[in-house]
Amino acid sequence: MGDQKLIIFGVLFFVIALYACWHIHENKALKRQINLIVDAKSTQWLMNFVWSRTIQLFLIFACGILLLIAYQLQLTESRNDVETLKTQNVDLSRKLSEETARKTNEQQAPAPATSPPIPITATPPTKNSIEDVYNPEDTKTDPQSGMDEIKKRYEDMFVIYMFLKKCGKIQPTDYTIITSALSQEMASINAPGRMQYDILSAAKGSYTEIYSGSPCDGKEVDALLIQYNNYIKLLTTNFPPP
């Protein structure tokens, strides 16, 4: 409680104390008057009755004061709770404003592209490129350039193969045709045997990371399938399986 409330309670106790002193003085005066009129036994009975009424009055005052103190304490606690709720409400309002501003900024920001990647297309070996492989003396490319060109073509080819296989659009013999053609091209430039494993590993990594989520119902799938089938026919013609 504040200083002002303490002063109020102090004044109240002072007034009650004055009233108690006045009441005690009046009871003593009453006793003297009664002694002059009635006998001692009757006087004692009457004074007991008077003092009991006085005590009852003081008890009523005491209960009233206790109730007032309890009410004041409860009122102070309620005010503290209100202040706490106000503080929490301010904090919640501030956090809500910050969250609203953040969501607004996110909604205004351009959304990232979510369309699935379109499978890459492979450039099939032309007749000239096949002739160049078998006639290296007529070309100006070195063996390393030949291996790099083969790696690029067949890695793209295997990626397309994996994609169309997922879509159920390949033939069971396609894998044999591709690997047989790759082996023959590798042999024509004396490429190391590990090269085929490296090409397959790179193709699997590219497919899994970029193209495995591409849809099978896009318009580009039909065009890709036509290109793929033409590639398989070209490999079958130029590099027939043994």
Q: How far is Cα 219 from Cα 221, in angstroms, rounded to an integer?
A: 5
pLDDT of residue 160: 92
Check whether 199 has a pLDDT greater than 90: yes
Q: Are 238 and 130 in contact (CB under 8 A)?
A: yes
Q: Which residue shows structure tokens 């504040």?
A: 2
How far is residue 87 from each of residues 82, 95, 100, measured CA to CA in Å?
A: 9, 12, 20
Residues in CB range of 26: below 8 A, 6 or more apart:
none
pLDDT single digits (tens) 145-190: 888 899 999 999 999 999 999 989 889 899 999 999 999 999 989 8
Q: How far is Cα 15 from Cα 163, in angstroms, rounded to an integer?
A: 99
One-letter amino acid for residue 64 of the chain: G
pTM of the model: 0.45
79 vs 240 pLDDT, higher one: 240
The structure tokens listed for 233 are 């026919």
Residue 112: φ, ψ to 5°: -65, 150
Q: For the residues 9-13, what does the mean pLDDT come to? A: 79
pLDDT of residue 141: 55
The structure tokens listed for 201 are 């590993």
Check whether 201 has a pLDDT greater than 90: yes
Greatest CA separation for the chain: 157
pLDDT of residue 138: 43
pLDDT single digits (tens) 108-144: 654 444 344 444 555 555 444 444 433 444 444 567 8
